[in-house]
Amino acid sequence: MSLFSKPAARARPTTRRDLLSSAAALLLLCSAAEAPLAQDVSETTTFNLNAATILDIQAAFDAGALTAEELVKMYLARIALYDDHGPALNAIITINPDALEIARALDEERAQQGPRSPVHGIPMLFKDNYDTFDMPTTGGSDVLAGSVPPDDAYTVEQLRAAGAIILGKANLSEFATPAGRGAYSSINDVTKNPFRLESDPAGSSGGSGASIAANFATIAFGTDTGGSIRGPAAANGVVGIRPTYGLISRDGIIPQALSLDTAGPLARNVTDAAIVLSIMAGSDPNDATTALGMEHAADYTQFLDLEALAGARIGVVQNFFGGDPEVDGLVNAAVAEMQALGAEAVEVSFDPAFLDTFGGLRDIINSEFGPYLEDYLATLADGYPKTLAEVVALYESPEIMDSPTPINPGLIETHKTNLEIAGLEGEDYLRVINTVLPEIQATVVAFMDTHDLDALVWPTSRCTASARWNLTDPDRVCQSGPGGNSVGSYGHVPDLQVPVGYTSRGLPVTISFVGRPFSEPTLIGFAYAYEQATMHRILPPLFPALPGEVFEY
């Protein structure tokens, strides 16, 4: 019997509300509470679900102290208790109805043949713009409700083949476009920030970021066009990687702006991010940009070096400070900690005229959205829209407009504008793609060369998480100014985020490590050395560990 079943197209997606009823939630919770028995040995190991890396989980598997089925039950229990009830985080759109069956099969395979890879039996969540052949992929939009794509996205296929369990799909800004509403979608409403429920987890990968902060899976995946991995990493206090453009395939991911789009992980620690990046990276004939990164893909775990910062020269980019004194203080303290680990820190600044060149670029690049979305829509079953015009018409249909979660008005206006500018042959568009973006990358590399820098650092976000779109936060401090996300997006360079602590209001802050194209090995080493020396990330207080999540063996 096949491990994977394909639900019928055009049905409303199976949600956690369907699968995790109160009775089922209680059953799963009781199941999770049955901790494995400790081994009768003189030395024991403490397993902590929140703190465990993928390697720690594999060690527990190998010792017979944990199974993939038990691990899935632990996460399902957390989702049942915390996502739809209690704090009601609302981060998950779909739970894989076959997750436990798949876990049992992978446990049996491990027993008979050994693990396929370090992610064998590891439960993962994907932003709901990654295609999955056995679950709907909606982009967060009611216009794609129930749409089951013909196959997996390339990255999903790679991870599934390596033995990963696709636990479910995470909420997002509809079609990866926040448009003033953060992590809101017409199919799942708005996701909350696990550290302050009135705050936003940031868009557009907000569901993925919030899920990992609340420990609903071992790892999650997002996409990043203008900051959609980096913003959620900062707002939720987790590790994120926007990789170099071309390192990871985007095939089978609903596009936003393909000249900028990339996939990447959101993780609880640098180790896990390095493990999955090693599997995701590489050449895909269905995404020509991966020819750029084919020679650079690697086993990134070899760069997890505690001494990596010794002798490193770090540029602390001053342009992106000044949003919030507490954010600045935490990032500056992180720089001091790096210096204590042997790094040399140098204050540097980009020429403001260089940053000004970013203005207006996104408006021009948005002309890609219509044509590339329509390429994606052409792969879907009959009964779904095939053009952006049809999508917009459905937005304004009474069925959707009068629903409890109508389309974000800002998204409707954005897509109407995209209809007017759609096209890949415009003079301004071709100039940006062929000339401006390469010049930005060259400027970033020349800046690092001039100052003899191994990496750049700055606050990932100038300020802490903002209030959710329909709420206010009068106590939030935020002075507007330039942010660093455009450097990675338009420069096509990697940006890795790591937690540096929490403000007096309990909101997380992260620092970005940014480097030359395909410098992921260097950034992973720096981030790991800093992380392991500080270990700032915590479980949000509203989402404590459940019985059975901490045990000895």
Q: How far apart are CA 233 and CA 228, in angstroms?
A: 9
Alpha-carbon dihedral of residues 179, 181, 186, 189, nearest 10 degrees? 160
Catalytic member of 73, 127, 169, 192 = 127
Which H, E and C letters describe 214-226, residue by residue?
CCCCCEEEEEECC
Q: How far apart are CA 231 and CA 468, in angstroms?
A: 14
125: part of which helix (H) or strand (E)?
A: strand 123-127
Rounded to 5°, angle at Cα 237 from 525 and 275:
40
57, 99, 61: which is closest to 77 by C-alpha?
99
What burial class does residue 398 get, using C-beta atoms within 10 Å of its C-beta: 0-12 exposed, 13-18 middle, 19+ buried? exposed
Our answer to whether residue 205 is catalytic in this structure is: no
Structure tokens at 197: 């429920």
Tell me the pairing of strands 344-348 and 262-267.
Answer: unpaired
Task: Check if 127 is active-site.
Answer: yes
CA pair distance 368, 33, nearest whole angstrom: 50
Q: Which of 204, 205, 208, 489 is catalytic?
A: 204
Tokens for 221? 């995946």
DSSP characters for 59-99? Answer: HHHHTTS--HHHHHHHHHHHHHHHTSSTT----EEEE-TTH
Do you find a cis peptide bond into 397, omega within 30 degrees of 0? no
Query: Which of 185, 205, 228, 512 does the annotation list as catalytic?
Result: 228
Backbone angles phi, psi at 86, to 5 degrees: 55, -120
User: Using an 8 Å Cβ cutoff, are 520 and 262 in contact?
Assistant: no
Tokens 């219509």 locate to 370
- Go through the chain and tell me how many residues it has: 553
Tokens of 105: 């099969």
Question: Residue 153: phi, psi to the nearest 5?
Answer: -60, 155
Closest of 416, 391, 414 to residue 145, by C-alpha: 391
Q: Is 416 a catalytic residue?
A: no
Q: How far apart are CA 172 and CA 141, in angstroms?
A: 9
What's the rounded Cα separation, in Å, for the pair 140 and 485?
24
Q: Which residues are catalytic?
A: 127, 204, 228
